[in-house]
Amino acid sequence: MTVGYLALGSNLGDRLENLKAAVAFLNQESRMVVTKKSLIYETKPYGDVPQDNYLNAVIQIDTDYAPQELLVVTQTVEKKLKRERLIRWGPRTIDIDILLLGQQIVTEPDLVIPHQEIAKRSFVLIPLKDVYVGKTLFSQSLEKLIDQTGNKNEVWISGESW
């Protein structure tokens, strides 16, 4: 089994229920188990599209899915939760990004692992810090990466919980 990390985000509908449903669907997969869940964070939206705040979290998984297989799984869960891809960085019921998958490096048109934006997003790094087993990422501490984003003040612990 390979340890992986998935970022979850929702800002449409019942945001908390969307996160919980995504985790439940992922846990139903026979070749994957969710082993850790971060705290749930509220965040200002990323990008220039006016929209409501997000609830964000990161989960740790154990899986034997290959990267492209895992992408199919995450996109299937997004479809089950009625994710529509209308506007880049626009509102969504659920967004599931593959952040890391063991030591694998993938560069394909539809999938890049490690996720290409991970070091720029405090809304990913802060919850990742809750569940990440390593001390460093990209040869830097998570704290340093979080500080370098310049937007860590846009992420705070939500009053919601699993």
What residue spans define the domains of the chain?
A: 2-157
Q: Which two tokens stand for residue 129?
A: 């810090």
Mean pLDDT over residues 82-92, rounded? 70
Q: Report the 10 Å Cβ neighbour count for 4.
A: 22
Is 95 tagged catalytic?
yes
Is 85 tagged catalytic?
no
Q: Which of 31, 62, 85, 92 is catalytic?
A: 92
CA angle 52, 144, 112 (to 5 degrees): 65
Q: Please state which of the four CATH numbers 3.40.50.2300, 3.30.70.560, 3.20.20.10, 3.40.50.970 is assigned to the domain occupying 2-157.
A: 3.30.70.560
Is 97 tagged catalytic?
yes
Is 83 tagged catalytic?
yes
Q: Which of 14, 31, 48, 83 is catalytic?
A: 83
Q: Is the pLDDT of residue 89 over 90?
A: no
Q: Is the pLDDT of residue 39 over 80?
A: yes
Q: Is the pLDDT of residue 88 over 80?
A: no
Question: pTM here?
Answer: 0.94
Q: What is the pLDDT of residue 45?
A: 84
